[in-house]
Structure 1
Amino acid sequence: MSNDVEFLIIGGGAMGSATALSLAQLGHEVLLLERFEPGHLNGASHGTTRNFNPAYARPEYLRLLQRANILWDELSTQAGTELLHRTGLVNHGIVAEQRHMHQVLASAGFSSELLGIEEAEERFSGMRFETEVLHIPAGGQINADATVAALQRLAAEAGASIRHSQQVTGFEVLSEDQVAVAVRTTQGEQRVLARHVVLTAGAWTRQLGGSLPLPAIHVTEEHPVHFALRAEPGNFPGFNHSLHSGRDIGSPVFGPVYGMHTPGAGIKVGWHGSGRIIDPEQRPHLVIEDQLVALQQYAQRWLPGVNPQDFAAISCTYANTEDEDFILDRLGPVTVGAGFSGHGFKFVPAIGEHLAQLASGRTAPIPAFSAARTIGAPVFLERRAQAGLA
């Protein structure tokens, strides 16, 4: 029995699209199947802004970040449009963490500076601070919608076949170099044989890869909001605010806060990983009222540049591992990229490159991202328990 295609990618979000581009540029035959239509809102790769935050201390992430930092600019050049807008990014809330990160970033080749409260508020007038601030000029915002479109266009130009409205309903490993993939299309059911499958299905990873030895993945529905600006944003960076759930800040704390300027929509602000755990097939699309009110209270205290009463809620999904580390592994003729836990988008081109190299046998898995790793600290569950989240 012969294969229909060399590499079949399941899932056409940012990670699958980046993998398709990398494999096609390596000269491989690539078929990418995406369940939904282009530009859909069902997963985690839609919208116009994601923070590019280089503040990672662990070497596994730093190596990916260093590569992603280069590849974002290269990808923008290839696409003919700016995908990463470097507005700078500020992190604040825990002084010891910011000072340590300042040292780590210097050793990794990222410039950063520590700012006092007065200087930070003068420079970033739309924000308020209570601690020293870490400013990272290389940070900024990534246009998610434009990124997925550019990756798929460039992949197609490199020879990949990109097909939407093609739902993979399952797959079966037949041998070390053959996987049978069941596909549902508008024309009916069909079976495609691939030498190798790359599973980048986001919230649907466990559903499709149930036969694979994967760690737990908890899918949450998140509801950040766009607050209207009171005036021109001026110098409004991306930001991350570390907050302990036991703190009294004038409102409940449901987790760390992130935010960024979304041109035309306002300032996007959200609690990290605080949404309901859901089945992606039965997504409720329901805002959690007390979390929304707490975001308004947060904005009232910390973001004088926005109007807390004028906002629009949006929705996306996180696919969370219990330690919030990624799954980047090769399991026989199946390579898995999953569990990005709400912080993966900044790494997209580097992860696509890595998954392509894993799938084609050019590199070995990174132990920290192994599907078989032992999860010692279930950060995701512990943080939610401390915040009183089910």
Structure 2
Amino acid sequence: MATSSPPATAAPISLPRSSSPQVAGSPELLGNLPLPSGFLRSIPTMDIYQENAYHFPYRDQDPEARLAWPTYIHKDPAFKSYGLPGGRDASFRGQKVAEYMAGHRMDTASQQNGQIDPANRERVIEYVKKYLPGLEPTPYAETTCIFSATPTEDFIMDEADGITILSPCSGHGAKFGPLLGELAADLATGARETPRAFPPGIPRQGHGLEDRAESPFGESLVQHPARPAHDDGHRAHGRHR
């Protein structure tokens, strides 16, 4: 990773890609695990994308001005975008901007090639020119990462026979990172049962954690239907009552 600031006209730095070749939702990965067949059938098919992300320098590099930049989600019908202040991977001097779920589809995360889509780069540059005038519209760094999503964009967090399955992402998991990490660790170690919001196969009341009237730490305000036993005699989640 470069430590110096390239001129505005220089080619953007290619940052180390974020890769997770063991992304859950890969059928061959789950199929190789000693899991009950009913549990496997309850796991939905995942959409897996290689996303592109770009770092655009702030026009005002004053430290206080940089701290004023927010994290945002913009759901324009023609262009869904998200952005957040860049971190140490890009020297903290710009905003990370991406087009949501616009990368190329993959069967498994192991197909990630780390190559930026030039057409996507141009679309994001045009978006920055139109909506983010406080940024220089030339990216100084870029990277790829993996997105995986369930059909409903709900999280998956469950356990069977001592194996924990997690997919707390679907493009909006980052804002719940600390909470999800605590829940996942407790589930894997047996300190907590599966939160009722997360096992696959339960009918959903809405999309995303923020839309559910339920606390993973307390009593549910919305009673989900009882989860049926699978025909192999094993409920899909071992610790959930």
TM bucket, shorter chain: 0.5 to 0.7
The structure carrying a bigger strand percent of its residues is 1
Distance 2:101 2:161 in 1: 31
Distance 1:348 1:239 in 2: 15
Task: Note the 1:3-82 alignment, pairs <5 A.
Answer: 41-43=17-19
CA contact (8 A) 2:58 2:134 kept: yes
Deviation per residue, 1:187-235 (Å, 9 max, x gap):
xxxxxxxxxxxxxx43575442125331111111010101123331514
Distance 2:81 2:104 in 1: 16
Task: Note the 1:228-247 alignment, pairs <5 A.
Answer: 228-233=57-62, 234=65, 235-246=67-78
Give the structure 2 partner of residue 304 of structure 1.
133
CA contact (8 A) 1:236 1:260 kept: no
Instruction: Tell me by how many angstroms 1:376 deviates.
Output: 8.3
The structure carrying a bigger helix percent of its residues is 1
Q: TM-score, normalized by length of structure 2?
A: 0.62
Residue 23 of structure 2 is aligned to residue 202 of structure 1: yes
Distance 2:149 2:172 in 1: 10
Structure 1 unpaired stretches of 5+: 1-39, 45-166, 168-200, 247-252, 380-390
Residue 102 of structure 2 is aligned to residue 267 of structure 1: no
Deviation per residue, 1:298-333 (Å, 9 max, x gap):
111222222113433211101211111111111232
CA contact (8 A) 2:46 2:148 kept: yes
Give the structure 1 partner of residue 215 of structure 2.
none
SS in 2 for 1:243: strand
CA contact (8 A) 2:24 2:165 kept: no
Give the structure 2 partner of residue 328 of structure 1.
157
Identity of aligned residues (%): 24
Distance 1:206 1:375 in 2: 23
Aligned-partner residue type, residue 243 of structure 1: K
CA contact (8 A) 2:154 2:207 kept: no
Distance 1:273 1:376 in 2: 23
SS in 2 for 1:267: strand
Q: TM-score, normalized by length of structure 1?
A: 0.40
SS in 2 for 1:365: coil
Aligned-partner residue type, residue 209 of structure 1: L
Instruction: Tell me by how many angstroms 1:274 deviates.
Output: 2.0
Query: Residues 376 and 289 of structure 1: is their aligned pair in 2 closer, same or farther, counting only changes over 3 Å?
Result: farther
Give the structure 2 partner of residue 288 of structure 1.
117
CA contact (8 A) 1:329 1:369 kept: yes
Query: Residues 236 and 290 of structure 1: is their aligned pair in 2 closer, same or farther, counting only changes over 3 Å?
Result: farther
Instruction: Tell me by how many angstroms 1:281 deviates.
Output: 2.1
Distance 2:77 2:202 in 1: 28
CA contact (8 A) 1:238 1:261 kept: no
CA contact (8 A) 1:43 1:203 kept: no
Residue 220 of structure 2 is aligned to residue 372 of structure 1: no
Distance 1:274 1:260 in 2: 20
How many aligned residue pairs are there?
178
Structure 2 unpaired stretches of 5+: 1-15, 209-241
SS in 1 for 2:166: strand
Query: Residues 216 and 378 of structure 1: is their aligned pair in 2 closer, same or farther, counting only changes over 3 Å?
Result: farther
Query: Residues 229 and 316 of structure 1: is their aligned pair in 2 closer, same or farther, counting only changes over 3 Å?
Result: same
Residue 170 of structure 2 is aligned to residue 345 of structure 1: no
Aligned-partner residue type, residue 330 of structure 1: E
Query: Residues 229 and 203 of structure 1: is their aligned pair in 2 closer, same or farther, counting only changes over 3 Å?
Result: farther
Could you say what the CA RMSD is over the residues aligned between the two structures, in angstroms?
2.9
Deviation per residue, 1:66-121 (Å, 9 max, x gap):
xxxxxxxxxxxxxxxxxxxxxxxxxxxxxxxxxxxxxxxxxxxxxxxxxxxxxxxx
CA contact (8 A) 1:319 1:339 kept: no
Distance 2:139 2:29 in 1: 40
CA contact (8 A) 1:217 1:339 kept: no
SS in 1 for 2:85: strand
Residue 89 of structure 2 is aligned to residue 257 of structure 1: no
